Amino acid sequence: MNQAEVAKLVSKLRIKVPPQPRKLRNIQGPQGRLDKLRKTVTGLIKHERIELNSNRADEARQYAERLISEAIRHGDCHKPTMDIADYWLLEKELVHKLFKVLVPRYENFDKSYTRMHKAPRAMNTRNQEKAVLELRGNPYPSLTNKQASNRQLIQNILLDAAKYDYRQSKYLEMAEKMGKAEDKEAGTKAEAVLESNDKN
């Protein structure tokens, strides 16, 4: 089977997927790990924003992305997809949410369906790193504050004015250079005319 056909079989995720699954240590072994991840994925689909340890968040995120992308790809009449949803969602009413709420929300998305933020951690502690995992398009207020594009912010006004000044000074320099070049050209032409007159 060549590469192109694999891409058709498995939907490509829009997040970085490490080649090896992460080993989340658990007393029950691999089954315990999966149980924990199922809990997390269920929580994410239910609450749309959760805070947890960073490594478990990253691992659960991959499964949640895969689940949503499968649901979008195959819809709710596809037996294997239904099985996957049934396995990953411990609360069965969330299966309805997945197909009736999340699939319409993410159908035309060109970004990943989930988002992970680093959460703050108390200084000088040895606690694990925390993360906030959320579904995009959730109803909560935004966690980040991206205002770089807001031209009315005072920083941007000052930067724009500085850029404008810089550009004006460059234009002036260029104009001076061009003026000098023209003067030179005019000078050489005049000399040439004089020389030709002398010859005649």
Partner 1 sequence: MKRHLTHLSKTILQNSSSKTLPLSRCLSTQEAIERRHHLFTLEKKRQVESVGRIEKIEVRYKGVPKDCTLVMNKDISSPYDCARHLSEWHADSNALALIDGAVHWDMHRPLSENCTLESYSSTEPQAVNKAFWRTCSFLLGAVAARAFKEDVTVKLHSFPGPDIRSGSFIYDVELSLPAWSPAPRELITLSAELVRLCRRGAPLERLEVSEELALEMFVDNSHKAKQIPSIARTNGKVTLYRVEKHVDISKGPLVCHAAQVGRAAVAAVHRIIGNFTIISAVGRLLLDVGLPHRPPVVSVGSGLHPP
Binding site for partner 1 (CB under 8 A): 141, 145, 147-148, 150, 152-155, 157-162
Task: Report the residue number, 1 or 154, with the smaller CB distance to partner 1.
Answer: 154
Q: How far is the CB of 61 from partner 1 (least distance, A)?
A: 26
Q: What are the helix (H) ranges across 75-153? A: 79-88, 93-97, 103-106
Buried residues in 67-80 as b, exposed as e (16+ CB within 10 A): bbbbbbeeeeeeee
Minimum distance from residue 120 beta carbon to partner 1 (Å): 15
Q: With respect to partner 1, which residue has the nearer C-beta, 108 or 145?
A: 145
Burial environment of residue 53 by CB neighbours within 10 A (0 to 12, 13 to 18, 19 or more): middle
Question: Minimum distance between the CB of residue 68 and partner 1, rounded to whole angstroms?
Answer: 30
The closest of 102, 176, 178, 89 to 138, measured between CA atoms, is: 102
For residue 81, give every residue at least 6 positions away whose Cβ sits within 8 Å of its Cβ, in sequence order, or none: 70, 71, 73, 74, 75
State which residue, 147 or 188, has the beta carbon closest to partner 1.
Answer: 147
Tell me whether residue 28 or residue 147 sits nearer to partner 1 (CB atom).
147
135 by DSSP, 3-state: which? strand
Minimum CB distance to partner 1 smaller for 157 or for 172: 157
Work out how close the CB of 156 gets to partner 1 at its nearest, in angstroms, rounded to a whole number: 9
Nearest-approach distance from CB 138 to partner 1, in angstroms: 17
Non-local (6+) Cβ contacts of 130 within 8 A are: 51, 52, 53, 54, 118, 119, 120, 121
Task: Indicate the SS3 state at residue 128.
Answer: coil
CB of 173 to partner 1, least distance (A): 18
Q: Which residues contact 123 (CB under 8 A, 6 or more apart)?
A: none
- Of the pair 153, 172, the CB lying nearest partner 1 is at 153
